[in-house]
Amino acid sequence: MDAKTAAARESLRVVVTGHVDHGKSTVVGRLLADTGALPKGKLERVRAYCERHGKPFEYAFLLDALKDEQAQGITIESSRIFFKSARRDYVLVDAPGHVEFIKNMISGATQASAALLVLDAKEGVQENSRRHGYLLSMLGARRIAVLVNKMDLVDWREDAFKRLAAEYGAFLERIGARAERFIPVSGLHGDNLAAPSARMPWYRGPTALAALDAFAPEPSLAARPFRMPVQGVYQFDGDARRVVAGTVESGTLAAGDEAVFYPSGKTGVVRSIEEFPRPPKGGRVFAGSATGFSLVQPVYVRRGEIAARRGEKPPAVAARFRARLVWLGRAPLSPRKDYVLKLGTARVGVRLESVARALDASSLKADRRATSVARHEVADCVLRTAGVIAFDPVEENAACGRFVIVDGFDVCGGGLIQEALPDASSLRHEKVLARNLKWQESAISPEKREARYGQKAALVLITGARGSRRKEAAKELEARLFAAGRHVYFLGIGSALYGVNADLRAAGDHVEDIRRVAEVAHILMDSGLVLIVSASELTEEDLVLFRSAIDPDRIETFWVGSPPAGLKGKVVAVPGKTGPAVAAMRKRLADRGFYP
Ligand code: GTP
Ligand code: MG
């Protein structure tokens, strides 16, 4: 199957949005009913059910009634509704509230590039009509049709329709958006949805269905660079293969291609596509498929990385970027608070660095001196993540350029990345990337070394206040592990500072000092060692430096004595006395599975 046949039947994702009760669900239910998309007898059954329970029938009920059902090519899951017209397949997203709406617009699964905006003819333009219009334009929906619904409530009058269309059209223009169509409809009576209305002869434009069919198709994702956010790496019993799994967002990949993972920069040649229950036709995976692949030589990659393909444009890797976001949290987005950013499968701490402009999405009142972002505001701002992440500017690849921001358990906002910005950690990371891209694989795989040595390579950082017994504890740990048959090495930080780092002594470049020690550690760990490094008073920044050069899953950090408040939860505290400290460390390392 080549790219063309894979996309033979076109599909379009359409979000249905608008103010509460303006008739979104009714319009969708009616469209399904009138296009023959409903399972046989469904409409009758829902009507009968309503009658039995003395409830007036609502087309909106059809959506709930269909939720558990999969029949005749129509399925509903959460709020996604699949249906077909003669022209193409549709995924309609009935987005009830704000948060749902934002989540749907941003989560790769239901990115909509087209939208139906439902307006109540009688109630007119409301706060959320404006807000959603703004969000749609901001989130990149280029094809918008406005359905002026409930025309029965304004006696099917042309002047009422025209007035509303003019008012809302002017609003869209102010925000730089445009509706392709304004269509007078009635969800309740079915006018101008699937069939033209006899009650509004003055309207000669297309029905809602015809307007959907007239939307230009979504640009092909297969032609873009390959992107697959890594969901996880799985190993199956009795099988040496490690399968890198995820959902392909764009591009294509086949056996023999070289995959490059970002931000780590690790690479590997694809051995085979491992799709369940059977491999894809032609052995090639395309955008939209949940898939997996194995590599000729296993590499350690983590959930949250983005798989790309050598020879194509790589994603950006940075810890600072310019973004446009919308905020929904009750408390404003504040530069003094830590949040979590989710992009693709990555999760990383994030902070607001600065706000260029904040704008109320309904009133369009702008605040150029804002330092935080209030609820329902849209802002152009700079965000900083706790470590580097991989992404694409949204112009280049929307799927890897959208993010949500989580506060505690709640999605509080989301947005689009416009461009990567330079900062110290991205510059440092460039070195790690280059090292990984140029890395010469040893002929002996890490697995083979692990099997031979009976241990996983690890970096054990032992730190503590000046005057604490960290060095004694480190050497004692080394001796104990060695006696137990482990391949272990103690590296006092001074051994590096006055050797590999000798040229830095005069300048006192602390960051470069740590970077080099981390690189030395990286090489020793590649040889399969458990490496013990002692250094006094490592800071959180130092730990970030180690983590950016070395797989964080392979690092354990101990603080001998009681750690400062800022490091609590980030290091493992062990007793100040050497004997108990060593016992605690040995137990912890074994618990983490570094050795049996
Ligand atoms: P939320 O999901 O709660 O935001 O509402 P919604 O936008 O999905 O609205 P829904 O489809 O549930 O409709 C709200 C009410 O408007 C229901 O009672 C519908 O019967 C009614 N309604 C929808 N379309 C029409 C219409 O064309 N004419 C009239 N008279 N009522 C309508
Ligand atoms: Mg609804």
Global pTM reads 0.72
- Residue 31 CA to ligand 2 centre (angstroms): 14
**Nearest alpha-carbon partner for 325 in 418, 410, 384, 413:** 413
CB 140 within 8 A of CB 394: yes
Domain membership flag for residue 221:
no
Helix (H, G, I), strand (E, B), or coil: what is residue 72?
coil
Closest-approaching ligand to the CA atom of 192: 1
- 14 and 53 housed in the same domain: yes
Q: Residue 512 has which token pair?
A: 């470069």
| CATH number, domain containing residue 350 | 2.40.30.10
**Nearest alpha-carbon partner for 242 in 302, 298, 305:** 298
Domain membership flag for residue 294:
yes
Domain membership flag for residue 256:
yes
| CATH number, domain containing residue 530 | 3.40.50.300
Report the 10 Å Cβ neighbour count for 554.
20
Closest-approaching ligand to the CA atom of 29: 1
- 56 and 199 housed in the same domain: yes
Domain membership flag for residue 433:
no
Domain membership flag for residue 428:
no
Domain membership flag for residue 394:
yes
Domain membership flag for residue 335:
yes
CB 309 within 8 A of CB 257: yes
Nearest alpha carbon, ligand 1 atom 16? 23
> Which segments of 361-516 are extended strands (E)?
366-367, 377-391, 402-407, 410-420, 458-464, 488-492
CA–CA distance, 276 with 257 (Å, rounded to integer): 20
- Residue 147 CA to ligand 1 centre (angstroms): 13
Report the 10 Å Cβ neighbour count for 72.
14
- 520 and 579 housed in the same domain: yes
Q: Beta partners for 350?
A: 339, 385
Q: Which atom of ligand 1 sits closest to the CA of residue 118?
A: 7
- 46 and 154 housed in the same domain: yes
- Residue 518 CA to ligand 1 centre (angstroms): 61
- 397 and 450 housed in the same domain: no
CB 81 within 8 A of CB 91: yes
**Nearest alpha-carbon partner for 403 in 426, 383, 422, 432:** 383
User: Residues near ligand 1 with C-beta < 6 Å?
Assistant: 18, 20-26, 58, 60, 96, 149-150, 152-153, 186-188
In the listed set 275, 309, 343, which residue is the last one of a domain according to the structure?
A: 309
Please give the order of strands across the beta sheet that includes 530-534: 488-492, 530-534, 458-464, 555-560, 572-574
| Amino acid code (one letter) for 113 | S
Report the 10 Å Cβ neighbour count for 452.
11
In the listed set 267, 289, 309, which residue is the last one of a domain according to the structure?
A: 309
Q: Which atom of ligand 1 sits closest to the CA of residue 18?
A: 7
CB 398 within 8 A of CB 387: no
pLDDT of residue 452: 94
Q: How far is CA 554 from CA 63, 97, 300, 365, 455, in A?
A: 48, 42, 11, 50, 12
Structural domain range at position 282: 228-309
- Residue 21 CA to ligand 1 centre (angstroms): 5
CA–CA distance, 15 with 117 (Å, rounded to integer): 8
CB 157 within 8 A of CB 163: no
- Residue 9 CA to ligand 2 centre (angstroms): 29
Closest-approaching ligand to the CA atom of 129: 1
- 455 and 565 housed in the same domain: yes
Q: Report the run of H or E that residue 583 belongs to, with start and end.
A: helix 578-591
- 88 and 233 housed in the same domain: no
- Residue 60 CA to ligand 2 centre (angstroms): 7
Residue 505 exposed, middle or buried by CB count within 10 Å (0-12, 13-18, 19+): exposed
**Nearest alpha-carbon partner for 169 in 191, 148, 141:** 148
pLDDT of residue 251: 92
CA–CA distance, 188 with 452 (Å, rounded to integer): 72
Closest-approaching ligand to the CA atom of 149: 1
Residues sharing a CB contact under 8 Å with residue 14, sequence separation 6 or more, in sequence order:
90, 91, 92, 93, 112, 114, 115, 116, 212, 215
CB 297 within 8 A of CB 269: yes
Quote the longest CA-to-CA distance of the chain.
93
Substitution candidate for ligand 1 out of 101, 104, 188 with most atoms within 8 A of CB: 188
Q: How many residues does the chain have?
A: 596
- 200 and 261 housed in the same domain: no
- Residue 59 CA to ligand 1 centre (angstroms): 9
Q: Based on the structure, what is the number of domains in the chain?
A: 4
Domain membership flag for residue 441:
no
CA–CA distance, 241 with 249 (Å, rounded to integer): 24
| Long-range contact set of residues 187-190: C-beta below 8 Å, sequence gap at least 24 | 187/23, 187/26, 187/27, 187/29, 187/30, 187/59, 187/118, 187/149, 187/150, 188/23, 188/26, 188/30, 188/59, 188/150, 188/152, 189/152, 190/30, 190/33, 190/34
- Residue 87 CA to ligand 1 centre (angstroms): 27
Q: Residue 402 has which token pair?
A: 């959208």
CA–CA distance, 250 with 400 (Å, rounded to integer): 9
Q: Beta partners for 308?
A: 260
Nearest alpha carbon, ligand 1 atom 13? 23
Q: Residue 596 has which token pair?
A: 């049996």
- 462 and 345 housed in the same domain: no
| Residue 429: φ, ψ to 5° | -65, -30
Q: Beta partners for 258?
A: 269
CA–CA distance, 580 with 560 (Å, rounded to integer): 10
Q: Which atom of ligand 1 sits closest to the CA of residue 153?
A: 30
- 42 and 150 housed in the same domain: yes
- 274 and 329 housed in the same domain: no
Secondary structure in 3-state letters for 181-228:
EEEECECCCCECCCECCCCCCCCCCCCHHHHHHHCCCCCCCCCCCCEE
Mean pLDDT by 10 residues, the chain (596 residues): 49 85 91 86 88 88 67 48 85 70 54 84 93 80 92 97 97 89 97 96 96 86 91 80 89 94 92 79 78 87 94 94 91 95 94 91 80 91 93 87 89 90 80 85 88 95 94 97 96 90 87 92 96 94 87 93 90 96 96 90
Helix (H, G, I), strand (E, B), or coil: what is residue 48?
helix
Nearest alpha carbon, ligand 1 atom 20? 58
The region that residue 491 occupies, defined by phi over 0 for left and psi between -120 and 50 for alpha, beta otherwise, is beta
**Nearest alpha-carbon partner for 317 in 308, 328, 330:** 308
DSSP class per residue in 497-553:
HTTTTGGGTTTT-HHHHHHHHHHHHHHHHHTT-EEEEE-SS--HHHHHHHHHHS-GG
In the listed set 214, 243, 273, which residue is the last one of a domain according to the structure?
A: 214
Q: Residue 318 has which token pair?
A: 């940075």
Substitution candidate for ligand 1 out of 15, 19, 21, 156 with most atoms within 8 A of CB: 21
- 32 and 174 housed in the same domain: yes
DSSP class per residue in 242-311:
EEEEEE--BSEEETTPEEEEETT--EEEEEEE--SSSPPGGGEEETT-EEEEEESS-----TT-EEEETT
